[in-house]
Amino acid sequence: MEDLMRNACELCAHLLSEAALVQSFKGRWMVICARLQRLSETLEALSSSACLEQYFLHLRASMVQIVSSLEEGKKLVRRSIELNYGGKLLMQSNLDALATKLDLHLQDVEVVKSGIRQRERAIAISNTTSEGDSKINHDRNSKKNHVWDMFTKLRIGSIEVKKATLEALIQYMKEDEKAVLVVGYDGDLPRLIHLLDSNAQAIRERAAHAISLLAVLEEFKKLLVADGAHPPLIRILESGSLFAREKAVLSLLELTYISENAHAVASHGGIPLLVKLCRHGTPTATACAAGTLRNLATNEHIRRSLAEEGAVEALINLVTSGTCEAQEQAVEALQYLASGKDDKIRTVIGKHGGIQCLMMFLKHAPSSKSQDTAIRALSNLATSAANAKALVSAGYVNQLTDLLKTGSSSVQQVAAAGICSLSSYIDLKKQLGEAGCIGPLTQMLEAKNITEQEVAAQALSTLLLVNSNRKEFCKEEKGISRLVQLLDPRNQSIAKRFPMSALLALSGSSTYRKRIMSAGARPHLEKLAEMNVVGAKKTLDKIGGKKLLSFFSRHKS
């Protein structure tokens, strides 16, 4: 190593001396001389360091290349002096190539120089601290130095060295979560990202694996995209090996949990490749691709692009025939795609069989969470009138009614919200009542969860606008009394407008009005009217009669 360093320094000095005599191509030689000077100074600094031997293995290959380039420069400077360069354009090209090589060599040796300085600084600090602090600092600096050494090898090592180093880096991060933080904060992320475009498949695979371990942590999601990780990851989706694609799409899945990152992935052409992976990927890659599409679908500005690039059809196919994990991700993606104001996307989902496949998924859903997601997706689809009618015709209301009776508390709540979304259509209200949902909704008015009570009251407030549904509701022994209980002013956590609307819907019948007053509605409504709760006076007038309202007004004055 010492001989190589000495030889390189001597060649730098010789070239600088000879270049001063050159009269042609002066501009190019000035650039070359500037780089030679920096290279010479850096090599001198390295040769005097006590830590140099620790970098021997991966620096030696670079030193051989440096000496070779300098020998080439020695020939070029002599030909420039003698004006014997066999063509001006050829000589210009040779000099530009030499300048580029010297620039790369400089980057290599400066990486080593930085690593040596960091190691020397750590040694100096450890020598000036107390024993306890020294141990802590030693451990911290030891990890930093270890990471820096690995990244130095990734910068200047051969393909085999890089391959082995990436394997060591991956193992290091797998063994200790704190090590991932050290790699992310003290490593060279741009260098790791650069390796995603390596010509060697083994390097690309391992770089993608390493990136996937970093992408899991919240601390590095924005940083990786800011450093440009997403374009090479997207390229791997198109041309990488199966293993590399799995790791690349896993990284994209993690990165796109951040909205800005999702937009960046979509902007760089990620959507069609993710759709393709949903159709033809391995089970793992397919699930991750569907999850990434779900993350993109949370951004309303990307949804139309997803629909135009074929994401809807691919996701529906996954719901029908994908693995359990892929199905879950696909259903959630469709849920987001069906949300928002764009009715065209909901139409596309319905047109390609989305309603049938989501209902089938709901029927066989493996968990309450799966049922919840499917109902939300179908409820979003129901905001389109055509889809709502198709859902009712396909027996969706029967599914919701069954879930109101047998589902978990959270599923009952979402199912009731699903009834609400359908009941907004006048011509569907009667069909909803005939499907048997009135009874379960009435039972929900006594649920312990306030949100369940409120959503049940909301559904009933629209369903009771139909006479047949009112009759069905009043068959429930405690139906009216349960609505009245929700009016209690002491229960401030529940909105009063829904139970009041439901009671107003019943107020057209004198029989129902008597039952409402007998259930104790008057004091509640009087108090609510006194509190200026919107709708309370109107409800009091409608149910209690104008005489009662006049009495209340005099009492207030």
Cα–chain-centroid distance for residue 426?
39
Q: Return the biggest CA–CA distance within the chain.
A: 119
Which H/E stretch holds residue 263?
Answer: helix 259-267
| Helices 242-255 and 201-215: angle between axes, nearest 10 degrees | 30
Give the pLDDT confidence of 222-257 residue by residue, as tens digits.
999 999 999 999 999 999 999 999 999 999 999 999
Q: Say which DSSP state 260 is in.
A: H
Under 8 Å between Cβ of 278 and 314: yes
pLDDT in tens, 461-477: 999 999 999 999 998 87
The reported pLDDT for the residue numbered 551 is 46
pLDDT beyond 70 at 350: yes
Question: In the chain, what are the domain boundaries?
Answer: 1-124
pLDDT in tens, 102-124: 998 888 887 777 766 655 555 55
How far apart CA 145 and CA 142 sit, in angstroms, is 5
DSSP state of 353: T
Instruction: Give the residue among 397, 499, 489, 407 at the shortest CA–CA distance from 446.
Output: 499
For residue 318, what are its two tokens?
């996954």
* pLDDT-based confidence at residue 126 (cuts at 50, 70, 90): low
Mean pLDDT of the chain: 88
pTM of the model: 0.77
Q: Rounded mean pLDDT of 177-189?
A: 90
Q: What is 332-343 written as a DSSP string?
A: HHHHHHTSSS-H
Determine what percent of the chain is predicted with pLDDT higher than 90.
60
Across the range 421-433, mean pLDDT stands at 88
Cβ neighbour number for residue 407 with a 10 Å cutoff: 20
- Give the residue carrying structure tokens 């002599």: 78
d(CA 526, CA 548): 10
**pLDDT above 70: percentage of residues in the chain:** 91
Q: How confident is the model at residue 490 (pLDDT cuts 50, 70, 90)?
A: confident
Identify whether the C-beta of residue 19 lies closer than 8 Å to the C-beta of residue 33.
yes
C-beta separation of 463 from 431 below 8 A: no
pLDDT tens, 17-68? 999 998 888 899 999 999 999 999 888 887 776 566 666 556 777 888 899 9
Task: Give the CA-trace dihedral at 237, 238, 242, 243, to 10 degrees.
Answer: -40
Tell me: the pLDDT tens digits for 276-314? 999 999 999 999 999 999 999 999 999 999 999 999 999
Q: Which amino acid is at 61?
A: A
**Residue 548: predicted pLDDT:** 45
The C-alpha atoms of residue 285 and residue 246 are separated, in whole angstroms, by 5
